[in-house]
Amino acid sequence: MSDNKTILDIQRMKAQGDKITVLTAYDYPFARLMDLAGIDMILVGDSVGSVVAGYDNTLPVTMDEMIYHTRAVVRGSASALIIADMPFLSYQVDLVEARRNAGRLVKEGGAQAVKLEGGENVAATIRAIVDMDIPVVGHIGLTPQSIHRMGGYRVQGKEDEQARQLLADARAVQQAGAFALVLEGIPAPLAQRITAELHIPTIGIGAGVHCDGQVLVIHDILGLCEKYSPKFVKRYADVSETISRGIADYIREVKDGVFPGEEHSFK
C-alpha cells in the first residue's frame, strides 16, 4: 500500500489555507530528491520535450515517452501525488482516445492523476476522464500546446475579453470535475480572482502569489536549462556550473593519465 498523498489531501490543503508545492520531474533521481524534500505533488510534464529531449516546444512528445518518464518518477516517489501530462494529440481527437490515453498513464505509467490543457473547449473531455475515476488537473492561460495559436509563449488574459474567457474556462474546468487547476502566465489579479471563486485549488506558474500553490520546472529552478529563462522563474541553484566543472576535471585527468588512480584499479 503506497503512502503517496491523495487528491483528498490536496483539496484539504486549500480548505486549510496551506500552500501546495509542485515541481516537474522526469526521472527517478530527481523524483526521489524532491520527494525526500517534502514536495506535495510531482508533475511529469510534457515540458520533458523541451528541457530533456531538446525540442523547441512540447508538441512532439508522445504517449509512450510520457509513460516511460512517469514510470521512472513513480519509482522514485514514496509520498508525493504523481500527475502525468497528456501530450498533444492524446486527447484532442475524440473522447474514446482521450479516455484510453488517460487510462494508459494510470495503468502503464502508475500516475495518480492526469493533466490536460484547455478550458471550455475540453470540458467534455475532462468529464469523460473523471467519469472513469481518473482524477484530472486542468491547465488554462498560457497553454504551451497552443503555441501556434498564441503566436509564442505570451502572457494571456491581459485584455478584458480574454480575462472574461479565462474566468469562464476556470468555471468550466471545475464544473467538469477537475480536482485542481494550473493557471499559467496570467496577470496576478486575475489569478487571485479565479482562486477566490473556485473551490478546487489553483496551482500558479507565472500567475502571482495568490494561487493556492505554485509549480515550476525543475530544470529552470536549478539552472539546468539555459535556452530561455522566463520572468516568472526563480533560480534556486546553479548546477550547470558544478556539472561543467566535474566533466572538465574528468576530461583533464583522463588526458593527463591521472585517472584511474591506484584506488580505482584492481590488483
Catalytic residue numbers, as ranges? 184
Identity of residue 26: Y
Site string for ligand KIV, 179-208 (x = CB under 6 A): ---x-x--------------------x---
Identity of residue 146: S
Instruction: Copy the grid coordinates of residue 175.
Output: 464544473
Q: Which residue from 34, 142, 170, 217 is in contact with ligand KIV, where contact means CB under 6 A?
A: 217
Instruction: Copy the grid coordinates of residue 238.
Output: 546553479
Q: What is the DSSP letter of 87?
A: P
Query: Measured from the CB atom, is 198 or 225 closer to ligand KIV?
Result: 225
Helices (H), the chain: 7-16, 28-37, 48-51, 63-76, 95-107, 123-130, 147-150, 160-175, 188-197, 218-221, 239-255
- Contact between 81 and ligand KIV per CB under 6 A: no
- Contact between 85 and ligand KIV per CB under 6 A: yes
Contact 133, 185 (CB under 8 A): no
Report residue 4 CA to chain centroid gap.
Answer: 17
- Contact between 46 and ligand KIV per CB under 6 A: yes
- Contact between 45 and ligand KIV per CB under 6 A: yes
Query: Measured from the CB atom, is 121 or 242 closer to ligand KIV?
Result: 121
Paired strand residues for 141: 184
- Shortest gap between Cβ of 252 and ligand KIV (angstroms)? 36
Query: Measured from the CB atom, is 64 or 253 closer to ligand KIV?
Result: 64
Contact 101, 63 (CB under 8 A): yes
- Contact between 167 and ligand KIV per CB under 6 A: no
Considering only 39-47, 65-73, 104-112, 146-154, which stretch makes contact with ligand KIV by CB under 6 A?
Answer: 39-47
- Contact between 118 and ligand KIV per CB under 6 A: no
- Shortest gap between Cβ of 22 and ligand KIV (angstroms)? 8
Q: ∠148-216-137 over CA atoms, to 5°?
A: 70
- Contact between 220 and ligand KIV per CB under 6 A: no
- Shortest gap between Cβ of 218 and ligand KIV (angstroms)? 9
Paired strand residues for 44: 84
The Cα 229–Cα 213 span in angstroms is: 21
Q: Footprint of ligand KIV on this chain (CB under 6 A)?
A: 24, 43, 45-47, 85, 182, 184, 205, 215, 217
